[in-house]
Structure 1
Amino acid sequence: MGRKNKQISEVTATVDRGWHLARTPLEMDVADIEYALMRCYEAFGRWQAECLASVIEFSASGPENALLHIIGMNERPKTIRDLAHMTNREDIPNIQYSLRKLLKAKLITRTGSGRSGVNYDVTALGRRVIERYADIRSALLIEAVSRVPKLTGRLADSAHTLELMTGIYEQAARTAATHRRRHPLPEPKAARPGKSRG
């Protein structure tokens, strides 16, 4: 172990990482990755919003921005079912709301009907927006990533780890839902003894 790594390990050992979700070393490691995921998700959302705002005056959340790019992916129309599956989402009403925003901004178009199936595709404006977004992403984000030593070699492993954790969370959620019981209401607190009024 190098001197720098040894110093980091010594400092880490002095930090108390324990709390109610991190009682064992493994729980601490999982809690650390969960916090990192939350912070990364928020930073990712801010990046998406700022990058899109530099292309077009359109206020979009991170998930709405993601939907726009996924609709434009591989130049083929997508159904709501496709979009939900590709983003691992179940909140169809929220997806529909986002699609209405993108339609109103004329970034996507809707074809088909309820019986034959509704498809969403990017418009000519939407295609220009996502292509310009890709240019800015390459110039700012990808350039920054490329300057971090050895980071590019770790990206594939990181993506694989996140996919594994996604599967584990999904299975744990199914198990929790399967075995969830109806919890009784908490008992009312006993009245504190004191002088009676009267």
Structure 2
Amino acid sequence: MTKEILKQKPGDSPSTPPGPARQAKMPIVSSSHLASGRSAELSEFEFGLIIASNAFNRWAVRCISAVGMKDMTITDVLVLHHINHRAREKKLADIAFILNIEDTHVVNYSLKKLQALGLVKTEKRGKEVLYSTNEAGQDVCKRYFEIREQVLVSGLSGDGTESFELSELARFLRILSGLYEQAARSATSL
């Protein structure tokens, strides 16, 4: 029995005979009850999205930790980078909107934390509070970039095709996020 399992290809189940007798590729999913009918490919994609999302979150937190910022969450990292984006001041509502975070309290908590860490400054204009990175925040973002280039970007193949492929994948993810948003609105109305 053990030898048969070792001969199997990835995706084979223990009950599927190894080799040519195998008829169809089994999708790799986290919830087989969601992988029936036309949704098998979507379930496989969603599982990939889940593990990629968790890996990205872990990477970003470990990278910012390598910069010296030990107690930051993924939301803190994303908020910091967005505030630093194009060196423009940002409003709380705009930060939450761009990062697609529904609960502005989550973003507000990160903003207070980033202020306490001395990475963000505020300016009040009328009723609005605008956030921007100070010199320390800009330095953290710069060091994050350097570590990212060294240990993550250097792992790309470097033949020039990954730019196009990553760009197309990013476009697909943006389209898919719109479909999920519409489906979420539809599910809320049921």
Q: Is the 8 A contact 1:72 1:121 kept in 2?
A: yes
Show the counterpart of 1:135: 146
Q: Is the 8 A contact 1:58 1:105 kept in 2?
A: no
> How far off its partner does 1:14 sit?
4.7
Show the counterpart of 1:196: none
> How far off its partner does 1:147 sit?
4.8
Q: Which of 162, 177, 182 is the aligned partner of 1:166?
A: 177
> How far off its partner does 1:13 sit?
2.3
Q: Which moved more, 1:7-16 or 1:125-134?
A: 7-16
Runs of 4+ in 1 over 4 A off after TM superposition: 7-12, 147-150
Identity of aligned residues (%): 29
Separation in 1, partners of 2:95, 2:27:
42
The alignment partner of 1:129 has SS state of helix
Q: Which of 25, 36, 40 is the aligned partner of 2:52?
A: 40
Runs of 5+ unmatched residues, structure 2: 1-8, 12-19
User: Pairwise CA RMSD of aligned residues?
Assistant: 2.4
Q: Is the 8 A contact 1:146 1:152 kept in 2?
A: no
> How far off its partner does 1:149 sit?
8.7
Q: Is the 8 A contact 1:71 1:77 kept in 2?
A: yes
Q: Does 1:101 align with 2:113?
A: yes
> How far off its partner does 1:148 sit?
8.1
Q: Which of 78, 91, 109 is the aligned partner of 2:90?
A: 78
Runs of 5+ unmatched residues, structure 1: 1-6, 181-198
Show the counterpart of 2:67: 55
> How far off its partner does 1:69 sit?
0.4
Residues matched between the structures, number: 171
Q: Which moved more, 1:99-108 or 1:54-63?
A: 54-63
Output the TM-score relative to the length of structure 2: 0.81
Q: Is the 8 A contact 1:107 1:123 kept in 2?
A: yes
Show the counterpart of 1:22: 35
Look at both structures and tell me which one has the larger radius of gyration over its CA atoms: 1
CA distances 1:62-96 after superposition (whole Å, capped 9, x unpaired): 12101100000000110011101111111111111
